[in-house]
Structure 1
Amino acid sequence: MGARALLEVLRSWPESARGEVPQDVDALVHAAARHGLAGFVQHAVGRSEWALGEAVRTQLRREALAQAARGMRVKALLLRSLDALASVGVVPVLLKGYGLALRLYPEPLQRATTDVDLLVVDAEVAAASRALVGLGLRPLGEKEAAHAREHEHHLTFTGAAGMVELHFRALVGYGQALEARVLLAQAEEAVLEGRRVRYLRAEDELVYLALHASNHLLQRLAWLFDLKLLVLAHPGLDWGRVVEVARGTAFPHLAWYALEAARRLMGAPVPEAVLAALAPPLWQRRMAAHFFSAERLLGTELMLHKPTWVAAKLLLAPRLLPMARYTVRRLREDGLTALRVR
């Protein structure tokens, strides 16, 4: 029941969790850390009626501080990356991560982030790549980069300072791609610590975050909580545009999976009419209820079982044939990689 208490904290927000202290509070702390929300849970529990024991409060504080330390490291790399891209005239869209937490959470380091995600137009990829390499980050090899440009949505740059994912598509998943042109055209200018940045328009960002969460089978509850916070932060959200944007992608089912789960588990105020407009066939809704139950998501069950993960991807795919082709290609690539490792 302690892990279930995490859902109670997230569902109650922005009100405080009430009632008796959960019996297995260690499970609450573990679940909060697993789902990237230790810092937020520490904040929320501090406002609640729950009186946790000293040992549990110490454990939660330790997890929150560790998460914040990782977040500060990512933030430092983000700021360096923005400076480097600005030097070549590139102002990226910030996806997820610190930029999202800064706008939605009481404190940005309350949400875990592990890397920097930047979205640029295709014509800016070469200049942005050189700028990131100038920071001492290591790019993909020539063959890997060519493969990523054809089949994936980002190039990866890694180094002692961390990892930057330079996105040139919004998303590739379930064997299909979401190009970035329309989203970038509507992106809005902003400033982050004196640096020019851009963010997706609220309706576009909601769809993007929902697609991203479903592409990863909702295995981090922070992704669903992000959706709730984004909706709460924009009471004037144009839901008609949300439906239009989601339907304009190859992934309307994916938007439904995440928005439905955010409403059911987090209490996100997503209108029923929006879910009805995006709903997949009844059999896929039943599959989603099976794979995305509270218990399975709390335990990140799909992440821990690769065969079940593959089955879920196939069964929940908006279109089976592209997903089947994608699965075969990935299995073949994974097999070749395993052989090279041996």
Structure 2
Amino acid sequence: MRALTVDPRQAGSLRVSETAEPEPAPGDLLVRGLAIGVCGTDKEIVHGEYGWPPPGRPRLVLGHESLGRVERAPAGSGFAPGDLVVGVVRRPDPEPCGACAHGEFDMCRNGRYTERGIKEIDGYGSELWCVEPDYAVTLDPGLERVGMLMEPTTVVAKAWDQVWRVGERAWFEPRRALVTGAGPIGLLAALLGTQRGLDVHVLDRVTEGPKPRLVADLGATYHHEPIDVVGPRLRPDVVIEATGAGSVVFGAIEYTAPYGIVCLTGVSPAGRMLPVDAGALNRELVLENDVVIGSVNANLRHYRMAAEALARADLGWLDRLITRRVRLDRFAEAFEGRPDDVKVVITLDGE
């Protein structure tokens, strides 16, 4: 079978390889791969900046934003042939920390977790793959064209979940949310914000292309001015930060309403220096009971939340979020950035 493979830490090594078909371990599902999403983490791995192959092997099968259809399922597994499924990305460490032992492997304390398509376990970028039933989630059959959006949706489902958990330490009734960044994570964060009934605003630099219309069609408001213009005008109760740009991050923190909560989901590059008035920042956080949290990855609870959110969403809107579909044999095109890209996916079934 064909699989999209890479030598982690070696730029230019991405290729389609012929590999043996997987043999499911007892109790595992055998799944026919339909598509994988391409995200920034995949691009970092392809550029040689990140990633670890399985122990004892040089190459890693790429792909953590999965979508597949069950071909074989053991009796009693809760799955049946034909089910539309995604595979969970992270696995707990072999000697679980307290968080992993309680199913919160997204909050691993010792860093010994593994991740499909990223860290020490092959990903889902192959024509067939296997997965343990405990790490597979069923999707609504109507999501066949867009189900690879599930994993990025889990990231924002967790972000909103964490915001609410923090907010409910006291009376909490947010009304206005600002999402910074209109990439896939930002747009999906906006989707979940509108589903919570919030007045959602999205900030991004671009003025043309699909992003402004995608935001408007959610019933949200699109902004392209700098954060120091938009922030004071909105004074949002909640910010979901999805750019990782330092100036935007600190602007988001500065301009929240009292008792504001900022959830950082974008990873900032190191090395860029910004002048920050640390005293003023500390004063504002303390005197206004503000909170800044970071959020990454997701656990099974968030996968279920994401599945429900996608099932409730407008399918046409989700389909428009995917701006390019690239066949596996043309994989290199999926890693070429184009001006109007929002989400690019690689199809594994030849269509």
TM-score, normalised by the number of residues in structure 1: 0.30
More strand by percentage: 2
- Greater relative contact order (CA < 8 Å, ≥ 6 in sequence): 2
